[in-house]
Structure 1
Amino acid sequence: MSVLSTTARRAGRGRGRSRATTAGRFALLLVIAVIMAFPLFWMALTAVSPERDLAGPDLRFWPSSLELGNFSRAWNALPFSTWFVNSVAIAVVAVVLTVSINLVAGFVLAKMRFTGRNVVLLVIVSTLMIPVQVVMVPQFRIVAELGWVNSYWAVIIPRAAEAFGIFLARQFMLAIPDELIDAAKVDGAGTLRILRSVILPLCKPLIAVLVIFTFMYRWNEFAWPLIVLKDQDLYTLPIGLTFLQGQYTTDYSGLMAMALVSALPMLVVFLVFQRYLVQGIATTGLK
């Protein structure tokens, strides 16, 4: 009986420590989540705050009243509807084009055998060390020679192939067994059929990760669209938000209202694909 009681006490202490560890981890994650969500919460509060609460010397944490009219006032003051459509068009086309190129390039580097494959991969990955600002001037000259300045294509094409996306796709596809490809070849499938029918159905987590990262980058891109887009009707939302910042005064409530509207598409995309996000990142380095 004493042995059984001792074992039971040890098991009870083990379960108690396990519950305490789980509770501690949950509390830590909760604190981190609150810290990371606070800027969004503060932005939402500022977006519905009256201008008088933001103009005085004393900063108020909670608004004295809710001013939902800040959204319509800022939206109608400038052509935000046009800029929103521009951002959606550029982001959607860029996501489709970039993700397609990344998947094809990743498949070639992961599953096709050819001389110099590792050298090509090394060159692609090494471009990650080059700052974006370094290539802006030659990139602009190429775009100007092609006659794409002040067009959507000037924003979309230069960043259509992402080195990080290609590397991510290659690493993910390395974990796919070669036996599946060999079996498809025995059945008479060609390269494109293998990619479409065998590889891509297994790459849903990878596609979700690429879509989220690409959309987030394209939606928030500021410097390059500002350089190549000259017509105000072609501006994107990040550029349009700067018009709410004056030289002497800034419409903080309107600025935060439009910033909140600008963040909503990214939130929607994340919620749609988040179920695959962790799985896609976790399985990228399996092999």
Structure 2
Amino acid sequence: MTSIAQDTRPALETPAAVPAARRNRMTPGRWVVWALLVCGALVMAFPVYWILVTAVTPGGQSQSGEFYLWPSEPTLANFAEAFESQPVGRWILNSVVIAGIGTAITVIVALMAGYAFAKFSFRGRGVLFGAFLVTIVVPAQVTLVPSFLVVVDLRLVDTIWAVILPRAGDAIAVFIARQFMLKIPDALLEAARIDGAGELTIFRRIVLPMSGPLVGVLVILAFMGKWNDFLWPLVTLQGTENLTLPVALSSMQSSGIFDNPWGPIMAIAFLSLLPLLVVFLVFQRTFVQGIASTGLK
């Protein structure tokens, strides 16, 4: 019995168990890393908190010379003033429609183009993909005038399609989609072709179910870009009621309606952050997986 006990005691402490326990300990180095991460998170979150504080401060923060982290008498009067004096509801609806439809079109185009570049061999594929990559480094101001002339010829000025269609294709989204789909096994697609499946069926039943993380990345990046877009909507949207939130916020500052515009402006700015937060929380897990799968840094 003694020999059996002596034989079993070392088995309780396997070589793999000891390093695992050590890895779970909070060493001084880990405490430093966690402290830095928390400090970084606080620095990144403070501007959002400051927007909220200004939004619930009577008259806004700028009207008082004092600095405080929370007002003594918080109020929603700034929100009410903004909604009563400006068509804020229409602006929110415009932004939601433009960002929603634009994101859907961008994601669909990126998925199909990325699949074609990754899994099809055709003449000029490398040249065409290189042209896509070149457009990434071209500033938006360079194509502003030609794009606007096309929109004028199509008679789309001051409509949501003037904002959506010229930005439907995104070279960065196509690049991310191609990099992800390069890792889909070709043997799996060939097996489906041997079984008689068409290319559309393969794309819909095999490629798309395997591209969940990719879709999360594309949705977050596309929605964020279209929701925050300022320059192009500023050029193409002319009527007050047809503006998007970023453009409308700048017009509120120069409208002259408010005695102190910073309270209402920060109130609407805080509301404009909520859709971005919701979209990120919904696709957060797939976003991290997609970034890791595409090898982006």
Q: Same fold (TM over 0.5)?
A: yes
Find out whether 1:268 has 2:278 as its counterpart. Answer: yes
Conserved 8 A contact 2:103-2:223: yes
**Which structure dedicates a bigger proportion of its chain to helix?**
1
* 1:280 equivalent in structure 2: 290
Query: Structure 1 residue aligned with 2:94, among 86, 90, 93?
Result: 86
Deviation at 1:56, TM superposition (A): 3.0
Q: Does 1:257 align with 2:267?
A: yes
TM-score computed with the length of structure 2 as normaliser: 0.88
Report the counterpart of residue 4 of structure 2 in structure 1: none
| One-letter amino acid of the counterpart of residue 176, structure 2 | L
Name the structure 1 match of 2:123. 115
Query: CA 1:52–1:26 in structure 2 vs 1: closer, same or farther (change >3 Å)?
Result: closer
Confirm or deny: 8 A CA contact 1:53 1:64 kept in the other structure: no
Alpha-carbon contact 2:60-2:262 (below 8 Å) kept: no
Could you tell me how far apart the structure 2 residues matched to 1:192 and 1:35 are? Answer: 47
Structure 2, unmatched stretches of 5+, are 1-9
Distance in 2 (alpha carbons) for counterparts of 1:53 and 1:214: 33
Whether the 8 Å contact between 1:209 and 1:280 is mirrored in structure 2 is yes
Shift of 1:61: 3.3
Deviation of residue 70 (structure 1)? 1.6
Question: Which of 224, 238, 256 is the aligned partner of 2:246?
Answer: 238
Q: Alpha-carbon deviation of 1:247?
A: 7.4
Mapped pair 1:158 → 2:166 = yes
- Native 8 Å contact 1:93 1:156 kept in 2: yes
Equivalent runs, 1:1-287 vs 2, <5 Å: 19-51=27-59, 53-246=61-254, 250-285=260-295
| Rounded Cα–Cα distance in structure 2 between residues aligned with 1:168 and 1:203 | 11
Tell me how many residue pairs correspond in the alignment. 279
Distance change >3 Å, CA 187–CA 13, structure 1 → 2: closer
How far apart, CA to CA, are the structure 1 residues paired with 2:255 and 2:223?
A: 31
Amino acid of the structure 1 residue aligned with 2:246? P
Kindly indicate whether the alpha-carbon contact (under 8 Å) linking 1:50 and 1:64 is maintained by their aligned counterparts in 2: no
The alignment's C-alpha RMSD in Å is: 2.3
1:7-58 per-residue CA deviation (whole Å, 9 max, x = no partner) reads 9xx9799669863333222211111111111111111111111117531333
**Do the aligned partners of 1:83 and 1:235 also contact (CA within 8 Å) in 2?**
yes
- Offset at residue 71 of structure 1 (A): 1.2
Question: What is the distance in 1 between the residues matched to 2:125 and 2:236?
Answer: 34
Distance 1:15 1:112, change over 3 A: closer
1:70 is matched by which residue type in structure 2? N
CA distance in 2: counterparts of 1:209 and 1:101, whole angstroms: 14
Residues in 1 aligned to 2:145 and 2:255: alpha-carbon distance in whole angstroms? 28
Between the aligned partners of 1:160 and 1:16, the Cα distance in structure 2 is: 47
Amino acid corresponding to residue 32 of structure 1 in structure 2: G
Q: Secondary structure at the match of 2:143?
A: helix
Secondary structure class of the residue paired with 2:158: coil
